[in-house]
Structure 1
Amino acid sequence: MNKNKIKLGIAPIGWTNDDMPELGKENTFEQCISEMALAGFTGSEVGGKYPRDTKILKHKLQARGIQICNAWTSTFFGDGKKDQTIKEFINQMNFLHEMGAKVIGCSEQSGSIQGLKKPIFGKDKRIFSDKEWNLLADGYNEIAGLAAEKGMKVCLHHHMGTAIQTTDEIDRYMEEVNDDVYLLFDTGHAYYSEGSQKAMLSILEKYITRIVHVHLKDVRDSIVEEVKAKGLSFLDGVRKGAFTVPGDGVIDFKPVFAILDQAGYQGWMVVEAEQDPSIANPFDYAVKGRKYIKENTGI
């Protein structure tokens, strides 16, 4: 892969989980970004412990050679909360723009069960109506226009437990929105949802020209099977270790890297592998993931 086109980042969720703050509560912001740098990463997404004062944040990051590449941004267009969503989006966009990020990774959270104590596979997952899809498309088209004014791109993070999780739902999203609205491709969520390497790769191949941000996340099949068999929630699965860093689970990332390389992908590849830090030492796993990427991409 071309190291002039690809930058490598890692998400702080391996150190402290914002959805379950008790996981990694002992890990400080400074420790997190220091260990990211020591492991060989140059980028980070934004966690709950990160200062929102951009001067302080820049100072802390620049000393470690780390830059901000993205931040989770929730949208609620399907629920009809357009005004509230756009107001919060603008605040996040301005923060990310000040930090030098070029993309804004959004997740449509209307009816999401990812944080609830409900089976992640089953009848509780939200299915959008045609009206809700229209609301979503209108909203995303509008925020994409706002982002473009700042030279930024909006991309949607398909995610377990949300109304845009499956291959069909990703297809519907991509059909509904304008061409200047993009996709954040997540290997782990695609595999978790569809259950196969082939299905995960087919999403990547189909939308490679519309993908502007990539999450590298591996999956442990045995935990996913337990989640299905016992009717566990998404967060139950995270605690048990459903996710891990590239090279430590069932996904073969070599074809992922090949597809990105052949398409001339430019942007960030971000390791995002939330686990229980008391079980999976964040620094050790960051090093493991970085080593695997180096061995398989040369970056």
Structure 2
Amino acid sequence: MSIRIGINPLTWTNDDMPALGADTPLEVCLTEGKQAGFSGFELGQKFPRTPEVLGPILEAHNLDLVSGWFSGELLTRSVEEEIKAIQPHLHLLKTLGAKVMVYCEVTDCIHGKQDTPLSHRPRISEMQIAEMGKKLTQVADYCLAQGVQIAYHHHMGTVIESQEEVELLMKHTGPSVGLLIDTGHLTFAGGNPLEVQAKYADRVVHVHCKDLRPEILKDAKNRDLSFLDAMLNGVFTVPGDGFIDYTSLFKQLKASNYSGWLVVEAEQDPAVAHPLTYATLGADNLKALCAETQLDLIN
């Protein structure tokens, strides 16, 4: 069992709202991420998408590729179409040694629409989740045969957002479909990361660590804000800077022999939340939590 800590470049440049951090070069993200204490990065909008180009860049910074987001469309595409669409991304991850792929069904999603309240997000029936799950399992079987496991990312503003929907997806998918627990998204959606981890410990293959500021979360829910407006108001922060119980979660990860990445993915406005300051705080807090809970952290 071994744990590594990584970070998503959202700390510096935002994929859902590209104007945030638009002028920040990739070189700054990688240099500061390494300086903060991380061993790897997930992909972001400024990353080259061919292994021949990206590999040497990461190597020069002594960083590994952790994973990267794929926008799934299985509600509208066939298994064959999805597998064809996923090829370049799968090739990049596989070639550069990433073991998991962050996957999210994005059909009709609204998390990138600043003028759309989260209450307007798409919802589908259990029958539709079951149909999607059957196809997702086939795609995941294919990816796993290539050495990369799908880690399904429940996400605000999408068809799989709530704890109930996560449980339905797990019910209707096979073991090749791994689960990404995002502490911030699950808590925002009213779920309990501790319950989900305990129930699906054998399916959890990736963990996104973002915390929540309680008063800003309460305000976002009271005013039914869009995902982007909630983010701009500062609802998210790095682990240990909010109210989520990371100590208990990490104890559970230790008990279940979790092996993989813990990734800081704290979506904030970099003009307000200084990236290097918050990246360093996130890394320091993760390291302290790993030491406290005896998770075997390696570089």
Equivalent residue runs for 1:10-49 within 5 Å: 10-49=7-46
The reply to whether residue 163 of structure 1 matches residue 156 of structure 2 is no
27-36 or 52-61: bigger deviation: 52-61
60-69 or 50-59: bigger deviation: 50-59
184-193 or 78-87: bigger deviation: 78-87
Tell me, in whole angstroms, the C-alpha distance in 1 between the residues paired with 2:95 and 2:219.
Answer: 43
Structure 1 counterpart of 2:185, one-letter code: H
Tell me, in whole angstroms, the C-alpha distance in 1 between the residues paired with 2:112 and 2:149.
Answer: 27
Equivalent residue runs for 1:172-183 within 5 Å: 172-183=168-179
Q: What corresponds to 2:186 in structure 1?
A: 190
Structure 1 counterpart of 2:186, one-letter code: A
Q: What corresponds to 1:253 in structure 2?
A: 246
Structure 2 counterpart of 1:69, one-letter code: V
Q: CA deviation at 1:12?
A: 0.4
Match among 143, 148, 157 for residue 152 of structure 1? 148
Query: Counterpart of 2:202 in 1: which secondary structure?
Result: helix
Cα RMSD of the aligned pairs, angstroms, is: 1.4
Q: For residues 251-291 of structure 1, give each alpha carbon's deviation from its aligned partner in whole angstroms, at most 9, with x where no partner exists.
A: 12111111111111011111100100000011110101111
Equivalent residue runs for 1:1-299 within 5 Å: 5-80=2-77, 82-116=79-113, 117-120=115-118, 122=119, 124-194=120-190, 199-298=192-291, 299=297
Structure 1: give runs of 5+ residues left out of the alignment: none
Structure 2 counterpart of 1:119, one-letter code: P
Query: Counterpart of 2:62 in 1: which secondary structure?
Result: coil
Query: Counterpart of 2:123 in 1: which secondary structure?
Result: coil
Q: CA deviation at 1:129?
A: 2.7
Tell me, in whole angstroms, the C-alpha distance in 2 between the residues paired with 1:80 and 1:55.
Answer: 30
Q: CA deviation at 1:131?
A: 4.4
56-65 or 270-279: bigger deviation: 56-65
Query: Counterpart of 1:209 in 2: which secondary structure?
Result: coil
Tell me, in whole angstroms, the C-alpha distance in 1 between the residues paired with 2:244 and 2:126.
Answer: 34
Of all paired residues, the percent bearing the same amino acid is: 37
Query: Counterpart of 1:85 in 2: which secondary structure?
Result: helix
Instruction: Answer yes or no: is the 8 Å Cα contact 1:119–1:231 preserved in 2.
Output: yes
Q: For this pair of structures, how many residues does the alignment match?
A: 291
Q: What corresponds to 2:294 in structure 1?
A: none
Tell me, in whole angstroms, the C-alpha distance in 2 between the residues paired with 1:95 and 1:142.
Answer: 20
Query: Counterpart of 2:261 in 1: which secondary structure?
Result: strand
Query: Counterpart of 2:200 in 1: which secondary structure?
Result: helix
Structure 2 counterpart of 1:171, one-letter code: E
Tell me, in whole angstroms, the C-alpha distance in 1 between the residues paired with 2:77 and 2:127.
Answer: 10
Tell me, in whole angstroms, the C-alpha distance in 2 between the residues paired with 1:296 and 1:214.
Answer: 14
Tell me, in whole angstroms, the C-alpha distance in 2 between the residues paired with 1:58 and 1:80.
Answer: 31
Instruction: Answer yes or no: is the 8 Å Cα contact 2:79–2:139 preserved in 1.
Output: no
Structure 2: give runs of 5+ residues left out of the alignment: 292-296
Query: Counterpart of 1:113 in 2: which secondary structure?
Result: coil
TM-score (norm 2): 0.93
Q: For residues 4-56 of structure 1, give each alpha carbon's deviation from its aligned partner in whole angstroms, at most 9, with x where no partner exists.
A: 60011000011100110110012110110111100110011000101123122
Q: CA deviation at 1:175?
A: 0.4
Structure 1 counterpart of 2:53, one-letter code: I
TM-score (norm 1): 0.93
Structure 2 counterpart of 1:185, one-letter code: I
